[in-house]
């Protein structure tokens, strides 16, 4: 469902990582190193937001380089920075992503919003929301359509206890038939969703 082939990324003369290779099937995978080892860079490349210097990412059989629209149609992303659309409302962003994915804002999506505690804040603008509330919008958006891969950078950052419990439950549900790849220092979340812990350097 997710395959990375010979991924390499450099910034100037610094090599962030080189020659990463891995195939991921359904399940939760957590990148948990304390040091700056390229976790966010790797997630950004998988999400199609950062271009690699070499190598390719495949999402459900589609190359992010050669078929980016098809690859991104099978992908959901929860970024570290959730303030990309300060004047947009939460509901507006969900509606936009639903159109992009040709998906319905159905009961399952609003049920996740309710369990995360997002419903009362859907009509606020992002600039009016707390960090955790912004993240809840993107987590809810990940339920739109039928993504084969969910990528999340710091998914529990800023979340209250109720939302963190709902997130762990949702990750467990998604991981039954999808890849959930996330970076986090939240050991409780990693345990609660039964994630396999790996290091970026181990992806060779």
Average pLDDT, 10 consecutive residues per value, the chain (204 residues)? 92 87 94 77 93 94 93 93 90 94 91 96 96 96 94 95 96 96 93 91 74
Contact (CB, 8 A) for 56 and 65: yes
Task: Tell me how many domains the chain contains.
Answer: 1
How far apart are the C-alpha atoms of 116 and 106, rounded to whole Å? 16
Beta bridge partners of 11: 14
Q: Residue 105, CB half-sphere, CA atoms under 13 Å: how many?
A: 17
- Owning domain of residue 158: 2-202
At residue 91, the pLDDT reads 96
Q: Which residues of 107-132 are buried (b: 16+ CB within 10 A; e: fewer)?
A: eebbebbebbbbeebbebebeebeeb
List for the chain the helix, strand, coil content (%; round to 5): 35, 25, 35
How far apart are the C-alpha atoms of 2 and 171, rounded to whole Å? 16
Look up the pTM and report it. 0.93
Identify the CATH number of the domain in which residue 62 sits: 3.40.50.300
Q: Residue 104: count other Cβ atoms within 10 Å of its Cβ.
A: 11
Sign of CA dihedral 168, 139, 56, 20: negative
How far apart are the C-alpha atoms of 199 and 16, rounded to whole Å? 13
Would you put residue 144 in left (φ > 0), alpha (ψ -120 to 50) or beta? beta
Tokens 């304390």, residue located = 34
How far apart are the C-alpha atoms of 15 and 88, rounded to whole Å? 37
Can you list the positions of beta strands (E) in 99-185?
A: 149-153, 179-183
At residue 27, the pLDDT reads 96
């Amino acid at each position: 469902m997710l395959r990375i082939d010979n991924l390499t990324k450099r910034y100037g003369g610094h090599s962030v990582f080189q020659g990463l290779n891995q195939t991921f099937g359904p399940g939760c995978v957590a990148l948990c190193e304390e040091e700056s080892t390229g976790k966010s860079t790797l997630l950004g490349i998988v999400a199609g937001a950062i271009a690699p210097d070499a190598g390719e990412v495949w999402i459900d059989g589609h190359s992010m380089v050669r078929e980016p629209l098809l690859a991104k149609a099978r992908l959901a992303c929860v970024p570290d920075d959730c303030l990309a659309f300060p004047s947009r409302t939460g509901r507006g962003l969900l509606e936009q992503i639903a159109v992009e994915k040709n998906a319905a804002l159905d009961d399952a999506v609003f049920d996740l919003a309710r369990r995360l505690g997002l419903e009362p804040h859907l009509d606020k603008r992002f600039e009016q929301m707390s960090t955790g509330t912004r993240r809840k919008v993107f987590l809810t958006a990940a339920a739109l359509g039928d993504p084969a891969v969910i990528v999340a950078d710091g998914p529990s950052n800023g979340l209250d206890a109720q939302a963190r419990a709902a997130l762990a439950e949702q990750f467990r549900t998604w991981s039954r038939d999808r890849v959930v790849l996330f970076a986090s220092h939240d050991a409780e979340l990693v345990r609660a969703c039964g994630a396999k812990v790996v290091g970026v350097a181990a992806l060779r």
